[in-house]
Homo-oligomer: A and B are copies of this chain.
Amino acid sequence: MADTTVYRASTTAPVNIAVIKYWGKRDPSLNLPTNSSLSVTLSQRSLRTLTTASCSAQYPSQDELTLNGKPQEIQSSKRTLACLSNLRSLRKSLEDADSSLPQLSALPLRIVSENNFPTAAGLASSAAGFAALVRAVADLYQLPDSPRDLSRIARQGSGSACRSLMGGYVAWRAGSLADGSDSLAEEVAPQSHWPEMRAIVLVVSAEKKDVPSTEGMQTTVATSSLFATRASSTVPERMTSIETAIKNRDFPEFAEITMRDSNGFHATCLDSWPPIFYMNDVSRAAVRLVHDINRAVGRTVAAYTFDAGPNAVIYYLEKDSDLVAGTVKAILGSTAGGWDGPFYEPLKDTTAPGVPLDNVDPRVIGTLKDGVSRVILTGVGEGPVSVNEHLVNETGEIIYH
């Protein structure tokens, strides 16, 4: 009679939000980027993916993946297959070298994953998802590979996923080798180096975005006359400068580079043919708000950044919570949800705006009140964490929530 043991490992993984943007692939199938990028890993106390990887001889022969309660067509996702195939090979090598190990690489996988936030809302769910998948299967297989090594695999699932395998401040080195073996993530500084970094996400719209990022970035690379300058010259200079800013905990420098890189990325989208727009009037109102706050305070206390969608992410330091998040709360506290949660404490008793609202253009206030449905308060956080909460029970059944 066959062994019916269900082997399991579970992990949570974080979202990351880039401050130097990834946009453009030099090799679409290997997910090799045209330029390096850098992100802040966000706390899993706010946003996280929980993934259980399991394998068992009692499972059907084909690997299975369930996301947020829905079975996925795993065979049609080349990216998922590439990740699993890489991880299985690593396990196989261990088994070949040590015959006492159970032959897990030969067993079908059942992977179950849940986000605690809406998918495809511009919140980098695919980054957290692939990081969790790779980390969970690597744990299931007890692979000795470092997060840096695993980032090479996660990258093939979703480029930015490679940066979610580490906490703190993470660079994705573009690399130059054709096989992508030097295109991987590196920790620039751990969370503990600069733990005061905070972020407030202004959720502008949960509509699916018009142009998916993979398609959008190929359009930009192929058609924007300005893109080559960004990839070959602007971004490399910014990578150097922002790493120095992070090392020196220099928020004003970090902030200016972050804002300029976001603007430059969206500029190359607009310069694409046909043009790609991710920011809308609400996004632009968030840009104005941040500039107005910084002007009123007289120093740079806030930095906006926008991914491939209209949501604003505003970075600030904890000591400036009143000035930044307190001002946002004064504008949106009565209309947008999401103010509760783990990072709400410093704002709980804040009633007056940190920056008097007569410093902010009234049209900006009106546009934000009308257009922001929800905020998410968060901050810099740790990388993936092994957990004992499993989404598959001991007999191999999926636990639905």
Query: Hey, which bits of chain A sit against chain B, CB under 8 A?
Result: 224-226, 228-230, 233-234, 256, 259-260, 263-264, 266-268, 270-275, 277, 280-281, 284, 287, 291
Contacts and interface: CB of A to CB of B under 8 A. Distances in A.
The 6 closest A-B pairs by CB, nearest first: A267-B271, A267-B267, A226-B226, A225-B234, A267-B270, A281-B281
* Number of copies of this protein chain within its complex: 2
Given A226-B226, A281-B281, A264 B274 contact: no
A224, A256, A274 — most chain B CB neighbours (10 Å): A274
Contacts of A224: 267
B264 A225 contact: yes
Contacts of A229: 225-226, 228-229
A401 to B, nearest CB: 34
23 contacts: A225-B233, A225-B234, A225-B260, A226-B226, A226-B229, A226-B234, A226-B264, A226-B268, A256-B273, A259-B273, A259-B275, A260-B271, A263-B272, A263-B273, A263-B275, A264-B271, A267-B267, A267-B268, A270-B270, A274-B291, A275-B287, A277-B287, A280-B284
A227 to B, nearest CB: 9
Chain A's interface: helix, strand, loop or mixed, by majority? helix
A224 B261 CA distance: 11
Contacts of A267: 224, 226, 267-268, 270-271
Contacts of A234: 225-226
Given A275-B287, A280-B281, 9 more contacts: A224-B267, A225-B234, A228-B229, A229-B229, A256-B273, A260-B271, A263-B272, A277-B284, A277-B287
A228 B225 CA distance: 11
Contacts of A230: 225-226
A230 B273 CA distance: 15
Contacts of A291: 274
A224, A226, A228, A234 — most chain B CB neighbours (10 Å): A226
Contacts of A271: 226, 260, 263-264, 267
A228, A277, A287, A291 — most chain B CB neighbours (10 Å): A277
A250 B270 CA distance: 25
A275 to B, nearest CB: 5
A249 B256 CA distance: 46
A267 B262 CA distance: 12
A32 B164 CA distance: 49
A284 B280 CA distance: 9
Nearest to A226: B226
A152 to B, nearest CB: 30
